[in-house]
Structure 1
Amino acid sequence: MSLTDFLHGVETVVVDRGPRPIQTVRSSVIGLIGTAPGALAASFPLDTPVLVNRRQAAAAIGSTGTLPQAIDAIFDQGGALIVLVRVEHVATENEQMTKIIGGVDAVTGDFTGIHVFRAAEAECGVSPMILIAPGFTHQRPIGVSGHTITAQGDGYTTASVAFSGGGVGAVLPTATPIITNGKITGLEFQSLGYGIVSPVTATITGTGTGATVTITTGPAANPVVGEMKQLADGMKAHIIADGPSTTDAAAFAYRNDHGTRRVFVVDPKVSGWSVKTSTYAIEPSSPRVAGLISRVDNQLGFWESPSNKEVYGIGGLARPIDYAYGDKNSRANILNENQIATFIRDDGWYLWGNRTCSADEKFAFLCVSRTADMIDISIAKAHRWAVDRSITKNYLEDVTASVKAYLRQLKTRGAILGGDCWVDPEFNTEADITQGHVTFSYDFTPPYPAERVTFRSHLVSDYIRNLFA
């Protein structure tokens, strides 16, 4: 009501200003994708996010495929919230990987495969922050490893390249020829293909003639993890990727396929009690690690490292991992040195390793990377109220006070060592404000895990005198 309107009586004017409380988003929601051909379709429709909050809720998942065992492994660690996506079970591994990767259905326009996680918040009310695809992230399938232009040809203004061969079930690469002064000087690959078991031939066609190319193949990065990276970047999530679980060299090669803080590699696989065979069986370790992270988040906080925490339900490892206190040459330490988490046995089985595949040392530790994400997401989501408000002095003070109060709360809880929020004039010029653009700056320092603890030992004779005191 306008204060210039006439009123004979009493009215109340609500003053809608002041700082707002900020609620931290859920950090421990697990995004799980896989197969379950025996599932009840009404409860778990294909390519649809389904919220699972306890074992009983997954009773209709059946006992076949990758999902039943993964759900059991997650809930072995305690309570968890899972956004589950079931994809169609198909015969060959290559076809199955394609189903897991998914995309957008050409007919309905709906998301399929891992891209269904994009719809999780709208349909389930939560967004997964820990992504796993057990059974589909440990492979390094054969794809294109290089190419050589054996003849550049001439007269090309437009050109295309077609691939053939690769063997039964292979997914062939896709690429676009690079044209320089009418010659073919290289290929720009959109995908490297995978599951290739025989030679691949490339044929260049276009307005010119004479260009030929030779394709070489070799182990390529896991395509599911590769597709998940872009998804994880947008959702500020982390991928728990299963290593190859064969040799140290294979694990190192797998880790070197990735340079993002979004990927946390765990090797080897573990032995867990199988609900299918009623005996111990080798299974991917990512579900148990994801369940552990969820448990640590709920009990200690998202800023706490999951390393050196007991993993429940492990009967053994798929390959031996030796460890001894202070032994830099133990297999566990060598894997950790190469940013690969593993497991050690010392009064129980423990996750051992803190580091992501980040090329940026600032985000080397998983708990530091996740803490930064939780703070960024929570502050952004809590300030939708601030969008389209008039930019006034009170407005700037209210938003700044909200963030300051949230950072103080996090410091009290031990989530950060300190933080601040301010309005920087350099990023809020007159031109910015007149265009409706306002910028708030904030900083914080997360706690770092004590990955290396050193005791300095001194053997002295000083205390002999105490014998005669």
Structure 2
Amino acid sequence: MSDPVFGLSITQMDNEPRPAIVTNMSIVGLVFTAPAADATEFPLNEPVLFYSSDDAKLAKMGKTGTGYNAVKLINQQLGQFQAAATIVGVRVTEGATPDETIVNLLGDINARTGMYALLNAGAELGITPRLICVPGYTSQLASSADANVIIAGLPTLLDRLLAVAVVDGPATDETAASAWRATIQSKRIIPVDVAAKVIDDVGDVVTVPASPAIIGIAVRRDHEFQGRPFHSWANQPVYGIVGPSRPLEFSILDGATEGQQLLSKNIGIIVRGESTDGALADGGFLYVGTDTCSEDTLWQFYNQVRGRDYIHLMFIKTLRFFLGRRNIDRGTIEDILATMKGGLRDIQATGDLLGFRVNFTRATNSPEQLRLGRFTVAFQAEEPPVLRYLGIQSARYRPALDALLDDLLTSLDA
């Protein structure tokens, strides 16, 4: 429509900084077996969206395999005002042997089968899982391999999804757990050793992988902080279990215990409260674990890894609006800088960043790059480390005796 000869023209302007758009980091990606599942509801090697509280969906999953118990254990960890965890599930065929099942769970990245089917979740379901779990099959070593093949394949998947995975160790003893841990290196893999004992639907005590419980705690903790993933899951109660698969000696006062030795190797554990004077709680069961399997100490804490993913995704979702819509000029650059600073300022205001800096420098930009429609902005930010050690210095206080003498002398003189 052309402008009127006699009248008004209104043009809506859109050349300001953008409000930050954040991502849900608590979507669970669960890769599981379920031989009795309804094939229509849970087709093989296809991502399926459901909620952990959906009893009808769970009934269609069936109670055999690894899926049913995993969903139950995730659901039991949820906190107040949480109705359910959002899950993207991928069902695979349970093999005749553990090795066959592991191959099916691993799948093929090109065919997008097994755990790699989670890569299709964004396009098919409109959501991307960020907390990945392949319960029950991440500790076994194939006869011809030095490492578990699922764990070996996870880093590629996790980097593509910007996700982390909780993986189960052998759950037998410290020696086996240490040998298993030595085969893993990734800032996106969070190990846990000991399984969990639960009561099944007929009242029997059964042992199940602990990773779904830890994933459920992660969902609960994110919810407690309005979806912000900057906080550790350590020292949190594990609900719905009657105990760990084996008792771990653990004390917050003594490093020469099995639990502390596992933690020193970045392996998370589940411990009983009220076990010793150095217990973490007066009762129940607690998850203790702060680390990933990263060799880079800058990214050893999983809350910092997930926090940086949250920031990166915020920038991706927010700054993509500028692409193609704006030309490179002073106003565009200022708006992008203001958008980034505003998003980081909001995160810092909640205590999830210690500080940040955003800058645009000539050293990283040139006229030639600007002519090509390209420019570079740098940012630095510092996510808070988790408190995992508190030193207390205990000494005698001689001035108290001086005060006592002064008080006595004063009273006697009176």
- TM-score of the aligned structures, taking structure 2 as reference length: 0.90
Q: What is the count of residue pairs matched by the alignment?
A: 387
2:172–2:194 contact (8 Å) kept in structure 1: yes
1:412 aligns with 2:349: yes
Deviation at 1:6, TM superposition (A): 7.2
1:332–1:352 contact (8 Å) kept in structure 2: no
Aligned to 1:232: 158
Deviation at 1:24, TM superposition (A): 1.7
Which whole-Å CA distance do the structure 1 matches of 2:5 and 2:118 have between them?
A: 54
Deviation at 1:342, TM superposition (A): 0.6
More helix by share: 2
Report the CA distance shift for 1:283/1:234 in structure 2 as closer, same or farther (over 3 A).
Answer: same
Aligned to 1:154: none
Deviation at 1:104, TM superposition (A): 5.6
SS at match of 2:268: strand
CA offsets 1:274-293 (integer angstroms, 9 cap, x no match): 23x53221111100000001
Which whole-Å CA distance do the structure 1 matches of 2:317 and 2:152 have between them?
A: 27
Report the CA distance shift for 1:432/1:101 in structure 2 as closer, same or farther (over 3 A).
Answer: same
Deviation at 1:467, TM superposition (A): 3.9
CA offsets 1:259-279 (integer angstroms, 9 cap, x no match): 21111110011112223x532
Deviation at 1:320, TM superposition (A): 2.0
2:99–2:142 contact (8 Å) kept in structure 1: no
1:260–1:357 contact (8 Å) kept in structure 2: yes
Which whole-Å CA distance do the structure 2 matches of 1:354 and 1:440 have between them?
A: 32
After the TM superposition, which residues 315-334 of structure 1 pair with which residues of structure 2 at under 5 Å, given as runs? Answer: 315-334=242-261
After the TM superposition, which residues 421-436 of structure 1 pair with which residues of structure 2 at under 5 Å, given as runs? Answer: 421-436=358-373
1:263 aligns with 2:189: yes
- Which blocks of at least 5 consecutive residues in structure 1 are unaligned? 144-193, 195-219
Residue number among 162, 171, 182 corresponding to 1:245 in the alignment: 171
Which whole-Å CA distance do the structure 2 matches of 1:257 and 1:104 have between them?
A: 21
Which whole-Å CA distance do the structure 2 matches of 1:242 and 1:433 have between them?
A: 49
1:225–1:239 contact (8 Å) kept in structure 2: no
Percent identity reads 30
Aligned to 1:67: 67
CA offsets 1:150-207 (integer angstroms, 9 cap, x no match): xxxxxxxxxxxxxxxxxxxxxxxxxxxxxxxxxxxxxxxxxxxx4xxxxxxxxxxxxx
Aligned to 1:80: 85
1:392 aligns with 2:318: no
Aligned to 1:217: none
Aligned to 1:124: 125
2:292–2:300 contact (8 Å) kept in structure 1: yes
SS at match of 1:351: strand
Aligned to 2:380: 443
Aligned to 1:284: 209
Which whole-Å CA distance do the structure 2 matches of 1:59 and 1:21 have between them?
A: 42
Which whole-Å CA distance do the structure 2 matches of 1:12 and 1:125 have between them?
A: 36
Aligned to 1:47: 45
SS at match of 1:13: coil
CA offsets 1:199-220 (integer angstroms, 9 cap, x no match): xxxxxxxxxxxxxxxxxxxxx1
After the TM superposition, which residues 351-366 of structure 1 pair with which residues of structure 2 at under 5 Å, given as runs? Answer: 351-366=287-302
2:42–2:91 contact (8 Å) kept in structure 1: yes
| Letter of the structure 1 residue corresponding to residue 156 of structure 2 | Q
SS at match of 2:396: coil
Aligned to 1:94: 99
Which whole-Å CA distance do the structure 1 matches of 2:5 and 2:284 have between them?
A: 75
More strand by share: 1
| Letter of the structure 1 residue corresponding to residue 270 of structure 2 | F
Aligned to 2:277: none
1:31–1:83 contact (8 Å) kept in structure 2: yes
